[in-house]
Amino acid sequence: MTTLTQPGVHTDLIGKPVTDPNRETFWNASKGWASWAFTLDHKRIAVMYLIGVLAAFFLGGTMAIVLRTMLLTNSDVVAGGLGKGPTAVNFYNQAFTIHGAVMVFMFIIPAIPAVIGNMVLPMQVGAIDVAFPRLNLMSFYCWLVGALFFLAVLVMGGLDTGWTFYTPYSIRTSTAATAAVLGAFILGFSSILTGVNFVATVHMMRPEGQGWFKLPLLLWALYSTAVIQILATPVLAITLLLVAAERILGVGIFDPALGGDPVLFQHFFWFYSHPAVYIMVLPGLGVISEIISVFSRKHIFGYKFIAFSSLAIALFGFIVWGHHMFTSGQSWLLNAIFSLLTMSVAIPSAVKVFNWLATMYRGRIRLDTPMLYGMGFIWLFTIGGLTGLFLAALNTDIHFHDTYFVVAHFHYVMVGSTLFAFIGGLYYWWPKMFGKMYDEKWGRIGAWVVFIGFNLTFFIQFLAGSRGMPRRYANYPDEYQVYHHISTLGSYVLTIGLFIVLFNWIHSIRKGRPAPANPWGANSMEWQSLSPPPHLNFDTPPKVGDPYNFDGWKYDPDIDAYVMRDDYEEIMAKGQH
Amino acid sequence: MNQTAKIGLLITWVGVLILGIVSVIVDWMPVDGGGFSEDVDWLYYFIYAVNVFFFLLIGGLMFTFAICGKQRPEDRDEVVHGATHNTLVEVAWTFPPLVIVLAIFVWGFRGYLDMATMPPASADAYLVDVEARQWGWTFTHENGASVSGQNYNPETGGGAVLDIPADRPVEFRLSATDVLHSLYFPAQRAKKDCVPGRYNRMWVEVTSAHIDARIAEMREDGLAVDEQERYADYPLHCTEYCGQDHSQMNGILRVWKPEYWDAQLDVLNIWNKENLSPIKWGEAVYTNNCASCHSVDGTPRTTGPTWKDLWKQERDGGPVDEQYILESIYIPGAFKVTGFESQNMSTFAGQLNYGDVMGVIAYIKSISGVDESEIRAEYPADREVYDGSDWLDENNQVMEPPALD
């Protein structure tokens, strides 16, 4: 591990210190609250999104700790003296609902596209902004308004439907389900607008010479994600409106007491929410493709296979929704078809993992914080993906459906994987975004604590679920006590790890060494800009090259960063193979 | 390779080995209570083996590559020029997973067809109606007996107990009165949603051998079992979130050896386990059997005398008491009531058992101005939970009603 002792400096592409402390960056290009509130700059919107989703993550995480603490023991006296009477049980039901809804709709779905995507995507195509900057701002305000609805839910009597809003319970509950579905409806628009922007930007704003296969793989992932966001989210929107209509007007759609069909809701809901699983994880896969290659100092292996596997996952993601409903009473034929189709998703996921391993093979692996998260991601995504096989197969799913096994599985995929990609990606682009380096030692410590805490929390839940512990239980049979003990302990470790990450970031913003333009020797175009970038992203038009050909950059030990070689264009023209 | 790297590699692969061994030792699935356990567990352990193999391979290789190729600070400038793609390799590692997942699908599908295909009529399946509600279960048997409750309470024996016979298929007709619920037998690996507005069906079959194995296992664990080894208990849960007391619907699936089943059916039929008072139970018996001919509010009917204020009325056979009511139900023609000589009531012997009659007696008392506390004190059914054992003889057979003179 290198000790970074030399005085920090902002450097330009050829390593010359940028001495002007008043250099224009997107942070200081304009001042005052209005310059942020009405900004059209994708980087500022990314920063606002970052603050927003981290606040949502804090809220959702608090709920997680509350519910894990309530599950710590199964006796009548639990931490906080809440007991296990009706009040405590209702509180628990609300805690897991708010946890799920906030984490899904306000955190995981927007996290990587809206923060990292907004920050990086236009720069990776060398553009000054996304295609529709005003829509981008509107997307953020949709998120904000949707988030306010959820906050209103908290004071209007809470929500106890589970994040899935299953009917007819969601029609009948006395909690603020109407406000919650309207909030999710509005949050959906934020997601759609981001998707529209990304598709348009990738299609229309690439510079000459940057063909589809010269896009960084993050863009393939974000593009695939955007397609899902555009096509699937409207279905959720309509479904939630129907739920609201049923609640407010008493129109019988999903409640059998009014002549509706509750299983119809599940079809509608999962037609969105299964693809939404890939909205959550695909961007993470993209981030990891970047990190693995850059930190292995080696060209990504199987570029086209990784790129097309993103599209394949997006496509297959649309035709597997019925696997959430194997026990609902839908016909055996539908179940069989959905089970078979679900198996198809395993293939592109496996292809990605194998290609990352092949990229690491014989690489010169730099085990810095982003790479630790990258490897943690491979570990967690492998477990999450492989355990999905149990749930795709029909008769084993009958046993595991709605048990802790499912809870563990999707936390490995959506939290383990996506959260690791999000944190790893933020560490990776942190220097670009904030113009500051973070503390490497604490970055690594944090990564290990988060990794250990996560596995401690969720791996044991596979065992609990295998042995029949149903999910969403405020009380549980005594035989499951030991699993809950371990899981709750793990969640505390995870919390400590996440606070280490947070303090490291705050410390970096306050005390961090000024970041060089390209600390990692990466070759996607955002690294050709200064850290942080100017308002219009690039002072000089960036040069197009293979994003995974790292030959064009030379390490400069004086600044502990990479500088562009003089013959960059020739190296790029020659290619690596 | 330097010393540190060698140690790292050693730790990695020793770790892989240990994880591999641990994964073989850990027994993941819950108790095997028959049903679909065999199929499900086989596929489970096959997928598990696939999981362990690929996970250890991927994890082991990842750490190996990271350790062997760890960048030294002086090598920051080095870029590795390896192969960037190889279609042959891609195809080679795409196909084995494809074959494996297809095999898993086929295996899972075959097992599932078993679950989804209800036993044929020739299989003599026993049918139980399962009605889920917020928050409890009602299990209604073929003879009309119904058991209802929330969490099973091992101390009182109360709560949702679903009795079924062993060695024959048992079919469950699932419904829900309010919101979604789901019936789950972990030990039988069986689960199906209870959906309001439709009937779902599922079935299981448990053998006597499973019962013996379960009893032996519970004994070993120091758990209470039926001393006569007539039945074994398995857990039963609601697995579809249904609101506040979703986690209070943990009942018991009690599987009876076939030789004890008929007796148990009679026990179920004597007193329901909803803890209905004898009055309420009698009212239910009245509603289902007697209401078409007899009124209870004094309304005159041509079909039969009203039951209002019947208790201790003077009749041909003497004042109306327990014996009079019992005889009137089992041998209706014994005494005719003035004004109803032409009516011929048919016997309810064989339809209403002794317990039902006791309920009717209590009900008649209650509509005749007898104080409720007085009625309640007379019947053992007023214990918190009544298991019907008072009506069993030493052979666990239901006692015959007392002989009628």
Residue, of B289 and A101, whose pLDDT is higher: A101
CA distance A347 to chain B (A): 6
Among the partner-chain residues A301, A327, A475, the one whose CB lies closest to the CB of B83 is A301
The pLDDT confidence band at residue A19, using thresholds 50, 70 and 90, is low
Rounded distance, CA A127 to CA A125, Å? 5
* CB contact residues (below 8 A), chain A span 513-552, against chain B: 521, 548, 550-551
- The reply to whether residue B43 touches residue A367, judged by beta carbons under 8 angstroms, is no
Per DSSP, the three-state class of A481 is helix
Non-local CB neighbours of B340 within 8 Å, separated by 6+ positions: B304, B305
- For chain B, domain boundaries: 3-70+85-116, 125-270, 278-383
For residue A171, what are the CA distances in angstroms to A166, B67, B239?
9, 55, 19
Q: Tokens for A298?
A: 């080696």
Question: Does residue A91 surpass a pLDDT of 60?
Answer: yes
Rounded distance, CA A270 to CA A167, Å? 13
Residue A339 is which amino acid?
A: S
Q: Mean of the per-residue pLDDT values for chain A?
A: 91
**Whether the Cβ atoms of residue B258 and residue B338 lie closer than 8 Å to each other:** no
Cite the DSSP H helix spans in A30-83: 33-37, 42-70
pLDDT given for residue A13 in this prediction:
67
Q: Tokens for A34?
A: 């209005």
**Whether the Cβ atoms of residue A334 and residue A405 lie closer than 8 Å to each other:** no
**Whether the Cβ atoms of residue B237 and residue B252 lie closer than 8 Å to each other:** no
Question: Does residue A47 surpass a pLDDT of 50?
Answer: yes
A262 to chain B, any CB pair closer than 8 A? The answer is yes
Q: Which bin fits A560, alpha (ψ -120 to 50), beta or left (φ > 0)?
A: left
| Chain A residues within an 8 Å CB radius of B237 | 468, 470
Say what percent of chain A tops pLDDT 90: 81
The pLDDT confidence band at residue A14, using thresholds 50, 70 and 90, is low
The 10s digit of each residue's pLDDT in A486-530 is: 999 999 999 999 999 999 999 999 999 989 999 999 999 999 998
| Chain B residues within an 8 Å CB radius of A2 | 73
ipTM (interface predicted TM):
0.92
pLDDT given for residue A214 in this prediction:
93
Question: Does residue A68 surpass a pLDDT of 60?
Answer: yes
The pLDDT confidence band at residue A310, using thresholds 50, 70 and 90, is very high
- The reply to whether residue A173 touches residue B178, judged by beta carbons under 8 angstroms, is no
The pLDDT confidence band at residue A97, using thresholds 50, 70 and 90, is very high
Question: 2.160.20.10, 1.20.120.1080, 1.10.760.10, 1.10.1060.10: which CATH number matches B278-383?
Answer: 1.10.760.10
Handedness of CA B185, B189, B190, B191 (dihedral sign): positive
Identical fold between B125-270 and B278-383: no
B125-270 has CATH 1.10.1200.10 classification: no
Closest residue of A to B39, CA-based?
A395
| Chain B residues within an 8 Å CB radius of A300 | 84
What CATH number labels A42-574? 1.20.210.10
For residue B344, what are the CA distances in angstroms to A159, B299, B328, B331, B339?
61, 20, 11, 11, 12
Give pTM, 2 decimals. 0.85
- Find the range with the poorest average confidence among A75-84, A222-231, A302-311, B209-218: A75-84
pLDDT given for residue A42 in this prediction:
96
The 10s digit of each residue's pLDDT in A158-208 is: 999 999 999 899 998 888 999 999 999 999 999 999 999 999 999 999 999
The pLDDT confidence band at residue A403, using thresholds 50, 70 and 90, is very high
pLDDT given for residue A18 in this prediction:
67
Cite the DSSP H helix spans in B2-36: 3-25
- The reply to whether residue B179 touches residue A350, judged by beta carbons under 8 angstroms, is no
pLDDT tens, per residue, chain B with 405 residues: 678 888 888 888 898 898 888 888 888 899 999 999 999 999 999 999 999 999 999 999 999 999 998 998 888 999 999 888 899 999 999 999 999 999 999 999 999 999 999 998 888 899 998 989 888 898 888 766 777 778 887 777 777 899 999 999 999 989 998 899 999 999 999 999 999 988 899 999 999 999 999 999 999 988 888 888 999 999 999 999 999 889 889 999 999 999 998 878 877 765 554 556 677 778 888 887 888 889 998 888 888 899 999 988 888 777 888 778 877 887 787 778 888 888 888 777 666 766 677 778 888 988 988 877 666 544 444 333 334 444 455 665 555 544 444
Rounded distance, CA A84 to CA A474, Å? 8
A557 to chain B, any CB pair closer than 8 A? The answer is yes
Non-local CB neighbours of B75 within 8 Å, separated by 6+ positions: A364
pLDDT given for residue B403 in this prediction:
46
pLDDT given for residue B189 in this prediction:
95
**Mind giving me the DSSP string for B69-119?**
TBPPGGGTT--B------HHHHHHHHHHHHHHHHHHHHHHHHHHHHHHSPP
CA distance B246 to chain A (A): 7
Rounded distance, CA A311 to CA A224, Å? 5
**Whether the Cβ atoms of residue A546 and residue A136 lie closer than 8 Å to each other:** no
Rounded mean pLDDT, A436-460: 96
- The reply to whether residue B104 touches residue A343, judged by beta carbons under 8 angstroms, is yes
Rounded distance, CA B308 to CA B368, Å? 6
Other Cβ atoms within 10 Å of A1 Cβ, number: 9
- How does strand B251-256 pair with strand B161-165? parallel
Q: How many CA atoms lie within 13 A of B386 on its CB side?
A: 22
| Chain A residues within an 8 Å CB radius of B54 | 382, 386
pLDDT given for residue B338 in this prediction:
84
**Whether the Cβ atoms of residue B232 and residue B255 lie closer than 8 Å to each other:** yes
A253 to chain B, any CB pair closer than 8 A? The answer is no
A-B contacts at Cβ under 8 angstroms: 283
Distance of CA B332 to the CA centre of its chain: 39
* CB contact residues (below 8 A), chain A span 178-237, against chain B: none
| Chain B residues within an 8 Å CB radius of A577 | 84
- The reply to whether residue B104 touches residue A336, judged by beta carbons under 8 angstroms, is no
Rounded mean pLDDT, A539-543: 90
- The reply to whether residue B184 touches residue A397, judged by beta carbons under 8 angstroms, is no
CA distance A390 to chain B (A): 7
- For chain A, domain boundaries: 42-574
User: Which of B316, B310, B404 is CA-nearest to residue B354?
Assistant: B404
Non-local CB neighbours of B109 within 8 Å, separated by 6+ positions: A336, A339, A340, A394, A395
A308 to chain B, any CB pair closer than 8 A? The answer is no
For residue B13, cis peptide bond before it (omega within 30 degrees of 0):
no
Q: Which bin fits B179, alpha (ψ -120 to 50), beta or left (φ > 0)?
A: beta
What would the 3-class secondary structure string for B236-252 be? EEECCCCCCCHHHCCEE
Rounded distance, CA B391 to CA B380, Å? 10
- The reply to whether residue B85 touches residue A303, judged by beta carbons under 8 angstroms, is yes
- Say what angle helices B354-366 and B322-330 make with each other, to 10 degrees: 130
**Whether the Cβ atoms of residue A501 and residue A425 lie closer than 8 Å to each other:** no
